[in-house]
Amino acid sequence: MLSNACKYAIRSILYLSLYSDKTKKIGVKKIADELETPQPFLAKLLQQLTKSKLVTSTKGPNGGFYLSEANQKNSIWDIVENIDGPNKFNQCFLGLSKCEDENPCPVHYIAAPFKNKILANFRDKTISQFSSEIIDTDKVLSLKDYDALKQE
Amino acid sequence: MLSNACKYAIRSILYLSLYSDKTKKIGVKKIADELETPQPFLAKLLQQLTKSKLVTSTKGPNGGFYLSEANQKNSIWDIVENIDGPNKFNQCFLGLSKCEDENPCPVHYIAAPFKNKILANFRDKTISQFSSEIIDTDKVLSLKDYDALKQE
DNA sequence: ACTAAAAAAGATATTTTTATCTTGATTTAT
DNA sequence: ATAAATCAAGATAAAAATATCTTTTTTAGT
Ligand code: FES
Ligand code: FES
């Protein structure tokens, strides 16, 4: 559904939302390590997200990435839109050129409600609301520890 | 979500289910034309589907592709499994290595029901049931005519 | 000033997906 | 038998996504 790039982006931003702020920046190395994503690829991605004002960065020693107050007010949808483009959730599941209630493809009424629901969920909550929820309901951004645990 | 190849495959098979049988085979050219898919790519794909026993073909004049009785009894899921692999609908939406209720990612409870419902829909109906439904409820496999209409 | 840390920028490489092209094999109809 | 139609098979190409590498710029701390 989403590209790898987009998945990395969402998890990185949620990670930054949870663990960084203006006074506590985090470097690519750390982020890539925690989220188990390819480091140089993530670096490029964060570069792009910074340019798009979805994350904030500073250079130099003690520099790194963090979410500003403004960044926290964006939505997951803003990320998807930026990385995978604005049509990610209004395309036909079977590849027709349009997805509409008139001329529905055979799976339209199965797929469309979910696309709409996911879209709504992604659009109507801010990153910071999302991350509060992550804390409250104990969600995970990486299975690093879990995987490590399993190996024992 | 699904690869182009898989979308083409599903639409082709539904098309064959609707319009072909043992006595009325249809060639790649016709199918590609009707569904507006790249012809040589579809040819390769149908070749693979034939090898996988999801469609049936015969060579020579009046040859072409059709769905045998056995082919009609397969499900959409069989197609997806064959083209995009068996893990298409149990992967984490955010790219975690596992998607399970324990250790859910932040969007798990939004995305997982969707994946399950689609999976169920794709697995529990045969191709022929699907195509009956297509006729009864007037679904479309291509927007060819619709698009042409719009241009006027 | 100097050094080291860190991101930014740009170039390159690899892999996967999508697509096409060419040749060969099979079958039907004449 | 021969010719024409049609799929099969294999080779190749093009495009997109994923990933890496190298160099430059900025900045904090000494
Ligand atoms: S038309 Fe296919 S999903 Fe809406
Ligand atoms: S864990 Fe991410 S979708 Fe289930």
Q: Which of A77, A103, A116, A141 to mutate to test the interface with B (most CBs of B within 10 A)?
A: A103
What is the rounded distance in angstroms from the CA atom of residue B115 to the CA atom of residue B138? 25
What is the rounded distance in angstroms from the CA atom of residue B101 to the CA atom of residue B87? 17
Residue identifier of the C-alpha nearest atom 1 of ligand 1 = A99
Residue type, B69: E
pLDDT tens-digit map of A88-146? 999 999 999 999 999 999 999 999 998 999 999 999 999 999 999 999 999 999 987 66
Is residue A26 within 8 Å of A12, Cβ to Cβ?
A: no
Which ligand lies nearest the alpha carbon of B103?
Answer: 2
Q: Which residues make beta-bridge pairs with B52?
A: none
Residue type, A41: F
Q: What is the pLDDT of residue B117?
A: 92
Q: Which residue is it, tokens 């997951």? A: A76
Which ligand lies nearest the alpha carbon of A142?
Answer: 2
Question: Which among A106, A121, A141 is the nearest to B14, CB-wise?
Answer: A106
Cα separation values, B60 from B25, B49, B57, B146, Å: 11, 19, 10, 33
Nearest alpha-carbon partner for B18 in B143, B149, B130, B110: B130
Structural domains in chain B, sorted by start: 4-151 (1.10.10.10)
> Is there a contact between B8 and A95 if contact means CB atoms under 8 Å apart?
yes
Which ligand lies nearest the alpha carbon of B146?
Answer: 1
Q: Tell me, using a 6 A CB cutoff, whether residue B99 lines ligand 2.
A: yes
Task: Tell me: pLDDT of A148 over 60.
Answer: no
What is the rounded distance in angstroms from the CA atom of residue A34 to the CA atom of residue A28? 10
Residue identifier of the C-alpha nearest atom 1 of ligand 2 = B99
Residue type, A10: I
Task: Tell me: pLDDT of A152 over 90.
Answer: no
- Residues B71/B75/B80/B82 CA torsion (nearest 10 deg): -40
Residue A137 half-sphere exposure toward CB, CA atoms < 13 A = 16
pLDDT tens-digit map of A32-84? 999 999 999 999 999 999 999 999 999 999 999 999 999 999 999 999 999 99
Task: Tell me: pLDDT of A149 over 90.
Answer: no
> Is there a contact between A143 and B97 if contact means CB atoms under 8 Å apart?
yes
- Kindly give the confidence (pLDDT) of every residue in chain B, 152 residues in length, as a single tens digit, with 9 standing for 90 and above: 999 999 999 999 999 999 999 999 999 999 999 999 999 999 999 999 999 999 999 999 999 999 999 999 999 999 999 999 999 999 999 999 999 999 999 999 999 998 999 999 999 999 999 999 999 999 999 988 665 555 44
Q: Which of A99, A101, A109, A118 for a ligand 1 pocket mutation test, highest count of atoms within 8 Å of Cβ?
A: A99
Average pLDDT, chain A: 94
> Is there a contact between A105 and B141 if contact means CB atoms under 8 Å apart?
yes
Q: What is the pLDDT of residue B150?
A: 53
Q: What is the pLDDT of residue B144?
A: 80
First to last CA, chain B: 33
Q: What is the pLDDT of residue B114?
A: 87
Q: Tell me, using a 6 A CB cutoff, whether residue B110 lines ligand 2.
A: no
What is the rounded distance in angstroms from the CA atom of residue B42 to the CA atom of residue B81? 18
Which positions of strand C lie within 7 Å of protein CB atoms? 4-11, 17-22, 25-29
Task: Tell me: pLDDT of A23 over 70.
Answer: yes
Q: Which residue is it, tokens 């589907």? A: B49
Angle, vertex CA B6, rays to CA B1 and CA B7, nearest 5: 75
Nucleotide at minimal C1' distance from the A27 CA: C6
Quick one: CA dihedral B126, B129, B135, B137, positive or negative? negative
Is residue B64 within 8 Å of B25, Cβ to Cβ?
A: yes
The CA distance from A101 to the nearest CA of chain B, in Å, is 10
Question: Which among B94, B110, B139 is the nearest to A118, CB-wise?
Answer: B110
Q: What is the pLDDT of residue B146?
A: 65
Q: Tell me, using a 6 A CB cutoff, whether residue A88 lines ligand 1.
A: no
What is the rounded distance in angstroms from the CA atom of residue B81 to the CA atom of residue B89? 10
Chain B residues with beta carbon closer than 8 angstroms to that of A127: none
Q: What is the pLDDT of residue B147?
A: 56
What is the rounded distance in angstroms from the CA atom of residue B115 to the CA atom of residue A108? 14
Nearest alpha-carbon partner for B125 in A107, A3, A87, A146: A107
What is the rounded distance in angstroms from the CA atom of residue B140 to the CA atom of residue B144? 10
